[in-house]
Each structure stands twice: as structure tokens, then as C-alpha cells.
Amino acid sequence: MSEEKKDFGKDFAEEAKKAANAFKEEVKETFDPNQPESGKIVAIIAHITIIGWIAALIMNSQNKTEFGSFYIRQTLGIWLLTILLGIIPIVGCFAAIIGLVLIVMSLINAANNKMAPTAVVGEYFQDWFKNL
């Protein structure tokens, strides 16, 4: 291999390392637990399908915020409740509608920076999933 290719490889590796470090610092600033907006971002992402919930869980595990954790627990509870209601024969027909209404209500609260639990079962979700 020529010297020119080796130098290019070294330069590329150094630039990639610098870019990765800059990105890491930028993420730390964006998801700083002391900034209320970082918890809001995690809370909103948690409401966007199961994949969004998983992404929010990963984001929140690196820089925990009380607001983000609250809505991660709420959305997990809503998803599980929707699945369980779907199993019941008569109620199962309406499970998706019930789940959608609860998710939208929770999303509106998250967007408005309110830590309001889901009607009737929200406090249970906070207790059951307190390790998240």
C-alpha cells in the first residue's frame, strides 16, 4: 500500500474520531437532565409507536430526566393496557380506540410540560414501572 493511501486512512480516522467526539458533546448538551426541554423531547418520542418508546428509553437511560421517565412509564402502561384490552372479546373491538385516545391525551400533556397521569390507571403505571 502506498504512503499516500496510508496517510489518507490516518487522516480519515482522525477526522471521524473528532466528528464522533463533537457529536457526543452535542448530544450531552441536547439531552442535559438540567434542561427541561430534554425531558420533553424524550416524552414526546416515547408516544410515537413502540419503536419510539424504545428509542426514548435508550435516550433517557443515558441522561435521566424525571419528566422523560414519567412519560416512558405512562406510555408503556398504555401500550400494555391496549394489548390486554384487545384480548377481551367485546372490549377488544374498542381497545385500539381506547389506546389511541389515551396516547393522544398523554401526548398533549407531555407537549404542554404537564406531568398528568393517565386517567384511572396512571398512578398504577408509575408504581408498577418505577424502575424505568
Contact indicator for 42, 59 with CB cutoff of 8 Å: yes
Give the residue-averaged pLDDT of 1-19.
67
**Cβ-proximal residues to 55 (8 Å cutoff; 6+ apart), any chain:** 45
pLDDT at 104 over 70: yes
Contact indicator for 118, 102 with CB cutoff of 8 Å: yes
- How far apart CA 45 and CA 71 sit, in angstroms, is 10
For 38-87, how does the pLDDT look when each residue is reduced to its tens digit (9 = 90+)?
678 888 888 888 888 888 888 888 778 888 888 888 888 888 888 888 89
